[in-house]
Amino acid sequence: MFRLTKTVLHRLHGRFNGHQQAWRLRSSSAREKALEYQPGQKIHGFTVREVAAVPDLCLTAVKLTHDKTGAQYLHAARDDSNNLFSVQLRTTPRDSTGVPHILEHTVLCGSEKYPCRDPFFKMLNRSLSTFMNAFTASDYTMYPFSTQNGKDFQNLLSVYLDAVFFPCLREQDFWQEGWRLENEDPTNPSSPLVFKGVVFNEMKGAFSDSEHLYAQHLQNKLYPDHTYSVVSGGEPLAIPDLTWEQLKQFHATHYHPSNARFFTYGDLPLENHLKQIQEEALCKFDRINPSTEVPSQPHWSSPREDHVTCSPDALAPDPIKQNTLCMSYLLGDITDAFEGFTLSLLSSLMVSGPNSPFYKSLIEPKIGSDFSSVVGYDGSTKEASFSIGLQGMAEQDTERVKQIINQTVDDIIENGFEDERIEALLHKIELQMKHQSTNFGLSLASYIASSWNHDGDPVELLRISDSVAKFRQALKENPHFLQDKVRYYFKENTHRLTLKMSPDEAYLEKQAKAEEEKLQEKISALTDSDRKEIYEKGLELLETQSKTQDASCLPALKVSDIQPTIPFTAVQMSTAAYVPVQYCEQPTNGLVYFRAMCSLNTLPEDLRVYVPLFCSIITKMGCGVLDYRQQAQQMEMRTGGMSVSTQVIPDSTQMDTFEQGVLLFSSCLERNLPHMFKLWSDIFNSPHFDNEERLRVLVMMGAQELANGISYSGHMYAMTRAGRHLTPAGELQETFGGMEQVKFLKRIAEMPDLSQVIRILPRIKKHLLNPENMRCAINATPQIMTDSATELEIFIKDVAENRKERKPVRANIIKKPLDPQDDLGPSRKLITEPNFQPCQMKTFFQMPFPVNFVSESIRAVPFCHQDYASLCILARMMTAKFLHGEIREKGGAYGGGARMGGGGVFSFYSYRDPNSVQTLSAFRKGVDWAKSGQFSQQDIDEAKLSVFSAVDAPVAPADKGTSRFLSGLTDEMKQSYREKLFAVDHKSLVEVAERYLGVGQSTCGVAILGPENDTIKKDPTWILK
């Protein structure tokens, strides 16, 4: 997977969001035990260099080096059962052929000890991993996995070590994963030659996304003198210049322990890891000098400007405003941890939220739709950068935006920042350190990766409260501390790039033409015997891809390794005044998590399409005596955030029954409970809707965000649309979160006058924020529960004036008790449509991408049905054993498969797919394969492992009890589903394939998002959008 660090690795505060431990009752043994190591101590070929307690993050850090190769090692001992391993290598390419990215894909295609094809994808089904992937960043490649099972950890470690250090790197794997020339139809030698390959198509998809394209150009042009000037993921037209020999050479020089950094995390013993890593890999190497360092970028003596083009966006909120302009500044070396901490804080003060100076000067005048796709501090390169600019702006505003940016910098130097804003940010950091999440190991690995890659000290990065204390001290000694930084890094900095991007109507055409020229250049050099060889190699590859592979060399867990029962989560059902409440006592580290579900049943149907907009603005317009800026400030100071989101919850027993509502969610430290509830009661009692200027800003940003998201989540939009007419819940899901919502918000963004919308919002509020139709849930520690209950009671009393009995809009309402033991107690009110008629529909959305997102969805059965478990296993097995080979390996798509959804809909999908209609026939072939029963017990067991690794994924204390609160799924229901999963066998899989997926049996919907398509245009059964 190619990761453009700018957009993916969020900044320091973003990265700690939601990342701490899965909690277990046990002594703090792993942390304490690790403190016993001594610097200088020798363990399995390693020497301990440093042992440090990091109380902020409840862990002990142990730093080691490998004696023979110099490999660096960091272990974070923490009482968390979700253990993680990662090895990262400094990969510094000097061209844009994508060699590190193609290598990352190819090493995972088989190794000395595990020579079968694609051990990586096979291990997904032979393990209970909670995470498995690989990332290529601009200057490193990382291979992380995590699991809660000790045996599994050893298995995965063995496969990962062998893949990274001893891969096969077969020429065939290079063709499949990287690029190849091949007949369009490999079985027909007279069909035209085309470029194929997984990475080739992945990068074509990535480069069709303007945000990604812009971030890539910005980095290449700000650092023009070394590795950051090239595309490490691969520029589509440069990829075909890479040879197999060059790939093997890059591996030999970069994938060496002397160029590696190992990281382990969790509660498993360090000695075992070291022993295995030494014996299976490191003992076979000597030290080399890898010479992969990245030199500092020479500083420019004067600022530079540049211009690039992109494809126009049909969904842009305003078609004539599609320019992006951004100024990017080169900052200091990221290995200075305190300077990095200071600059990332400074960046948040400058750009985050409606109180920040750049938000006020750039966003509020509505010159553009949102900040540029790259904004703020970026510490993913050896020297950090800061970027500020706008997207969705008009060509003629270019000079004005440049002036505003320079003026804003001057204003900051003049006025500094309010103390409250600095305190609010430090409060945010405190919350993020306390918040317990389930994938904390992975967050840590990503957080330290860049700095450690350039020999920064990872332990220093972990000591966050030391940086906070140092920061407070610096401010105390020099009140102008931050202004001085702004003057130095922004005002006086001559290494500044201004990059403009504008749409070019002919962009896609030019890209296609350039690709065609590249192709012709390759083809014109071919002799007849070359062509013959290409055809033969194409057939060989197809034959290899079609062979059933023997994966017996790979280690695997057994179904008997899975826990037979789930741990039950205790909840207490109660009421606050007349409102039902679920209390769940959890080790939340001093935080309180509040949820409230409010029903939509009384809302007039014509207003439903406005609900997502209502949710996104209700906490951002101001309330009570606070305007929107003061409200944002209070939320930052007093809470971990407050949000409202739409909920469509399909019933677990009946297909045509669902609950509709909005979910309120917030969290805070115990001391801020009264403040958090006061903010909510002001939102209930006196929200502000009348500021049209503010509403327009929020609408523009929302429309821009939805339009930008399609190239990342196209398969989700395709699946939502394909399921639209299959169930009543599907219809509402499309309204709230499908292409229908994208188009609706674009329409609102284009309205010259929003007064009609402003009149609608209070009508929606009256129906939604009604305590009569509300239930609440609180997760907190036992000590805080009493206070939380008291404050909740006060809140319910405060909002009593909004309580009103209103008639539901739909006649058919079913009540389900919130507590299964108490039929007469409070209930959830679900909508049912007993006479619902599902219908078939095929929809095509023409989009400005060169790749497709394809989906077919089939109406099946709800969660509690006997066949649901079999369909879940079948989806996983079809994906691993059939669809992956057809759609990714043969078809060249970045991904594809089948999934059984909670709403009782079985879906096929493909992601960034060069094919469209052909993929639909691959789905059908998958069904035939399943019905034929040509799969083994081993295949079924692997699918079970894969499903259980998702079912048993760790749940954070903040989220325990949530599925019961929202969907009424009790632990008993989950245990019953578990038993059904264990019981699935060969017979039941063939039966469900025939019963639900066969043509004639099923009601299905199809949707494709993709480029212009003549086949579909000529076919009258498609609806074109």
Would you please indicate which residues are annotated as catalytic (active-site) residues? 104
Instruction: Taking the CA atoms of 561, 562, 563 and 567 in sequence, report the sign of the dihedral they define.
Output: positive
Residue 531: which residues within 8 A CB-CB, separation 6 or more?
A: 189, 193
Helical H segments across 328-415, by residue range:
337-351, 357-358, 398-415
Closest residue by Cα to residue 184 from 174, 176, 195, 173: 195
Distances in Å between the Cα of 273 and the Cα atoms of 52, 84, 279, 290 are 19, 11, 10, 24
Rounded Cα–Cα distance for residues 739 and 146 (Å)? 35
Closest residue by Cα to residue 1003 from 881, 880, 856: 856
Exposed/middle/buried for residue 795 (C-beta within 10 Å: 0-12, 13-18, 19+)? buried
Rounded Cα–Cα distance for residues 913 and 856 (Å)? 14
Q: What single letter denotes the amino acid at residue 126?
A: R
Distances in Å between the Cα of 405 and the Cα atoms of 373, 411, 464, 818 are 16, 10, 31, 54
**Is residue 260 left, alpha or beta, with left meaning phi > 0 and alpha meaning psi from -120 to 50?**
beta
Q: What single letter denotes the amino acid at residue 384?
A: A
**Stretch (H or E) spanning 374:** none
Q: What single letter denotes the amino acid at residue 735?
A: T
Cβ proximity of 523 and 515 under 8 Å: no
Distance of CA 772 to the CA centre of its chain: 36
Rounded Cα–Cα distance for residues 520 and 501 (Å)? 29
Rounded Cα–Cα distance for residues 140 and 26 (Å)? 37
Rg of the chain on CA atoms, in Å: 28
Q: How far apart are the first and last CA of the chain?
A: 31
Altogether, the residues listed in the chain come to a count of: 1025
Exposed/middle/buried for residue 1007 (C-beta within 10 Å: 0-12, 13-18, 19+)? buried
CB burial readout 826-835, b (16+ within 10 A) else e: bbbbbbbbee
Beta bridge partners of 383: 333
Closest residue by Cα to residue 129 from 109, 114, 149: 149
Rounded Cα–Cα distance for residues 888 and 893 (Å)? 5
Rounded Cα–Cα distance for residues 898 and 929 (Å)? 13
Rounded Cα–Cα distance for residues 585 and 784 (Å)? 9
